[in-house]
Amino acid sequence: MGVQLPQFTRRRVLRALGRDIVAVLLLTMGCSLGVPGDAESGQQKDSSDYQQYFPKYTRPAAIPFPTDNLFTEERAQLGKTLFFDPRLSGSNWISCATCHNPALSWGDGLPKAIGHGMTELTRRTPAIWNLAWATSLFWDGRTASLEEQALGPIAAQAEMNLSLDKMVAKLKGIPQYGPLFASAYANEPISEKTVAKALATFERTVISGKAPFDRWMEGDESAVSAAAKQGFVLFNTKANCVACHSGWRLTDDSFHDVGLAGEDRGRGTQLEGIEEAQFTFKTPTLRNVERRAPYMHDGATPTLEAVIDLYNRGGDVRRPSLSPQIKPLHLTAKEEQDLLAFLHTLTSVDAPVTVPTLPQ
């Protein structure tokens, strides 16, 4: 069930969430398809070059919320407050926002995440852009909903290291949280369930805004360069990036072995008896990808240029689980640069996120 974005009046959403959330909500409205042309020359191009691919990338007009956790301003505000509260950790200094920092494109900018006691974890922090549409969470897909995912890092000893019973007791001991929970979830107590539901509601509002790519699809031929337009065609044809990075979020929400070296079996740790699942990892969104270095699940690929090189050479490791799409692409240096130019068009201008005042 989705919430139609026009129903969010500017006054009501500003009161509860601040300018950061209203901006991204309004930016998710659908776009129309424009007539392609050459921005440099002003001449019309053959629409078969790229317009045929536009429909696959049209943005939705509504954010989907589950029927048992529908959107309200109070729920989103509570979730945002919990997201930024370090008291949801055993040390009282790690919050969800510590690793999912809005200033770092909802990541942490590190090759691998840092958890409780400054422990380096085994995988990079994934960004939380556009997860309202996700069908599985974590690099290995071990949870199926944001509600299920939300409590995992809190309880994990290596991450936030706070048992869920202690989390509930701690929140009940903070007087100002009581009215916030009562307003968001009437007739439901402060519990693991309501904490998870509130965090999930907030996370569903973390939506990337329109990027130059979207404006180009709407008809603004000057929004992207000629190189980026060629890169978009390559993305959908010779480079075959679309095989995994599909849809408006540029992810298929599936799992692939892309030929990275390493011992981490990814999805295979959840599906031990399935050879095809070994060394597979969830496809990340490409929205705002240029702001999220380093790359891949292990953070071992420092730049987008290096990512493109990896795919161009067909990965580094050959094994039975390797995705069939991973094979040498034979892209020229010019084609690699065009593809990079297209990836840069996926960067949106998003409003600064305001940090909430924490309850006492």
DSSP H or E stretch at residue 12: helix 10-17
CA triple 22-27-31, angle to 5 deg: 155
Tokens representing 80 are: 């945002």
Look up 159 and say whether it is catalytic: yes
Distance from C-alpha of 316 to C-alpha of 296, rounded to nearest angstrom: 13
The secondary structure of 162-221 as a DSSP string is --HHHHHHHHHTSTTHHHHHHHHSTT--SSHHHHHHHHHHHHHT------HHHHHHTT-G
Report which of 353, 358, 245 is spatially closest to residue 24, judged by C-alpha positions.
353
**End-to-end alpha carbon distance in the chain:** 35
Q: Is 171 left (phi over 0), alpha (psi -120 to 50) or beta?
A: alpha
Catalytic residue among 74, 147, 159, 336: 159
A 10 A CB-CB count for 302 gives 12
Q: Which residues form the catalytic set? A: 159
